[in-house]
């Protein structure tokens, strides 16, 4: 599994297209992931049409991969298909609630990661777009997602046209806890983040952003409280609109 | 990647233990998954102690794997470590909100699936316990999870002592949508679920449960509306307690 160990996000793709047979094979194998009660609570929308990519682009804050990748995949939490099956089989579905959203989102995310692993193993490169849950309302409209379907992850896929450096990761001991969670002391935090803070690219990042610390780039520029609060409002409003939450 | 293609959930394990070096190697490689802004918004609690397994067992509705597996892993959405880093670096964290929970849960689930793939590739068997999000309050207490940490997935791991049949999956065409979501007609539902409904084990399931249809086993016995609504209450109450939602 060197492809997992050596992986890096790929944001630049060659013009080579992905054959439909290959894409379908990867998706079919990805659907072997664990799924709650074998309900398979997900759907995938495949975007190849350039006009559709242009429509999706603003929802992803115009990240260029949405246009430049041959294939864009939107993985959705989906209780619509299962609920329709219930209704057509004299069964009363009860999945219009937050836990069902979380269950379907979980199913969808396990499949998303499985797809990424399989694609990378075949020499493709992927980029995970976290923007999907920031503007779910726009994506729902563009992709015609009905009630009980919620977009949860977007992956751009193509043949790599770059070989970026592998990003740093925190030391294992900073993430894994034996038996119980050992909360972090100041000393532990200093030690866990020391390597990240020592990297020249991160020091450069602090310099060009004119912040005092690397953490301030996250809190004041990239992932701000006010943005998070606005996006949380959108998330709840969209979950209500899609039928997963009550007013 | 035959291990993904041929995978099945393993619920019975031999008495062989998992060496710590192997477990750590699998976790370290799993942490190569995509993560929002390279923040690594997850923690993993490793349970090997039998006393701890016995404490966790009721939270997982006494599924026997929790006791019988050599290792139980609880993957958590974690904004505690990152927020503490911010506080110690003169940065004001703003991650006490629902979108931050969803972002951290996403990070945690991608890593969970990555771990499962790597473990299976090494000949281990895993079982994904969906019960984690049903009784998160109990798990939080047992594992001492602080604010901004939420258990999101539990995996039991061990060397397989069974080779079960591979479960059925819906046809690809029932899950994948080209360009836009094509909502399901009655005919589509009939076709997508025909194979599942035709399986002898599912017919037997209907018979012994005395229901009229297979779907009724899900709606009336396994995943009931009233249970989902109660668990949704617990989920929200727990997210409030852990600081991801306001009252």
Contact assignment for B100 to A180 by CB distance below 8 Å: no
How far, in Å, CA of B82 to CA of A5, rounded?
A: 24
Show the tokens assigned to A176.
């894994």
In tens digits, what is the pLDDT along chain B, a chain of 247 residues?
788 999 999 999 999 999 999 999 999 999 999 999 999 999 999 999 999 999 999 999 999 999 999 999 999 999 999 999 999 999 999 999 999 999 999 999 999 999 999 999 999 999 999 999 999 999 999 999 999 999 999 999 999 999 999 999 999 999 999 999 999 999 999 999 999 999 999 999 999 999 999 999 999 999 999 999 999 999 999 999 999 999 7
Closest by CA to A99, choosing from B231, B157, B226, B114, is B231
Backbone angles phi, psi at B221, to 5 degrees: -125, -55
How far apart CA A225 and CA A228 sit, in angstroms, is 5
pLDDT digits (tens, 9 = 90+) for A102-125: 999 999 999 999 999 999 999 999
B71 CB-near residues (< 8 Å, 6+ apart) = B18, B23, B46, B47, B48, B156, B157, B158
Residue A11 three-state SS: coil
Chain B residues touching A34 at Cβ < 8 A:
9, 116, 126, 128
What does the mean pLDDT of chain A come to?
97
State yes or no: ipTM above 0.90. Answer: yes
Say if the Cβ atoms of A1 and B121 lie within 8 Å: yes
Chain B residues within an 8 Å CB radius of A36: 130
Substitution target from A61, A85, A146, A149 for chain B, most B beta carbons within 10 A: A85
Which of B80, B177, B226, B239 to mutate against chain A (most A CBs within 10 Å)?
A: B177
- Residue B50 tokens, joined: 């039998």
Q: How far does the CA of residue A23 sit from the closest CA of chain B (Å)?
A: 11
- The shortest CB-CB distance from B94 to any of A7, A49, A219 is to A219
Tell me the pLDDT tens digit for each residue of A141-175.
Answer: 999 999 999 999 999 999 999 999 999 999 999 99
Of B4, B90, B222, the CB nearest to A118: B4
Distance of alpha carbon B170 from alpha carbon A184, whole angstroms = 45
**In B, which residues are within 8 Å of A80 by CB distance?**
183-184
Q: How many Å lie between the alpha carbon of B209 and the closest alpha carbon of chain A?
A: 14
The backbone torsions φ and ψ at residue B13, rounded to the nearest 5 degrees and listed phi first, read: -120, 150
Beta strands in chain A (DSSP E): 42-47, 71-78, 125-129, 149-158, 176-178
**Pick from A42, A30, A33: which is nearest to A150 by CA?**
A42
Could you read off the pLDDT of A45-95 as tens digits, one per residue?
999 999 999 999 999 999 999 999 999 999 999 999 999 999 999 999 999
Say how far residue A140 (Cα) sits from the centre of its chain: 16
Backbone angles phi, psi at A61, to 5 degrees: 50, 35
Residue A56: its chain B contacts at CB < 8 A?
Answer: none
Q: Compute the distance between CA of residue B87 and CA of residue B78 in angstroms, rounded to an integer.
A: 15
Q: CA nearest B245 in A: which residue?
A: A232
Q: Say whether B43 and A181 touch across the interface (CB within 8 A).
A: yes
Residue in chain B nearest A53 by alpha carbon? B179
Predicted TM-score (pTM) of the model is: 0.98
Mutating which of B2, B3, B4, B105 best tests the A interface, going by the most A Cβ atoms within 10 A? Answer: B4
- CB neighbours of residue A169 within 10 Å: 16
- Compare CB distances from A5 to B32, B38, B236 and report the shortest one's residue: B32
CB A53 within 8 A of CB A80: no
Instruction: Please state, in angstroms and rounded to a whole number, the distance separating the CA atoms of residues B6 and B216.
Output: 29
Please name the residues between 114 and 143 in chain A that touch chain B, using a CB distance below 8 Å.
114, 116-118, 121, 126, 128, 130, 133-134, 143
Question: A197: distance to nearest CA of chain B, Å?
Answer: 11
A207 Cβ under 8 Å from any chain B Cβ: no
d(CA A200, CA A191): 17
Give one DSSP letter per residue of B15-75, joined into a string. Answer: SPPPPHHHHHHHHHHHTTS--GGG---EEEEEE--HHHHHHHGGGGTT-THHHHSSEEEEE
The stretch A184-192 carries a mean pLDDT of 98
CA distances from B227 to A74, A107, A137, A160 (A): 30, 19, 28, 46
User: Are A42 and A70 spatial neighbours (Cβ–Cβ below 8 Å)?
Assistant: no
Q: Which of B174, B218, B221 best probes binding to A when mutated, by most A CB atoms within 10 angstroms?
A: B218
């Amino acid at each position: 599994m060197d492809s997992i160990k050596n992986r890096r996000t790929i944001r630049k793709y060659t013009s080579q297209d992905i054959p439909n047979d290959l894409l379908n094979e990867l998706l079919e194998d990805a659907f072997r992931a664990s799924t709650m009660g074998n309900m398979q609570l997900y759907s995938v929308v495949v975007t190849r049409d350039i006009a559709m990519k242009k429509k999706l682009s603003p929802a992803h804050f115009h990240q260029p991969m949405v246009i430049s990748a041959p294939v864009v995949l939107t993985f959705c939490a989906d209780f619509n298909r299962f609920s329709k099956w219930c209704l057509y089989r004299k069964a009363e579905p009860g999945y219009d609630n937050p836990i069902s959203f979380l269950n379907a989102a979980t199913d969808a995310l396990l499949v998303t990661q499985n797809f990424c692993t399989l694609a990378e193993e075949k020499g493709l490169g992927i980029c995970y777009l976290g923007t999907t849950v920031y503007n779910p309302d726009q994506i729902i409209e563009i992709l015609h997602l009905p009630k009980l379907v919620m977009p949860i992850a977007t992956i751009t896929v193509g043949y790599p046209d770059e070989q970026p450096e592998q990003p740093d990761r925190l030391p294992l001991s900073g993430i894994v806890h034996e038996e119980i969670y050992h909360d972090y002391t100041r000393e532990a935090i200093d030690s866990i983040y020391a390597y990240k803070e020592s990297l020249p690219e991160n020091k450069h990042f602090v310099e060009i952003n004119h912040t005092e610390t690397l953490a301030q780039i996250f809190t004041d520029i990239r992932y701000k409280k006010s943005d998070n609060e606005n996006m949380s409002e959108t998330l709840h409003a969209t979950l209500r609109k899609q039928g997963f939450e009550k007013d």
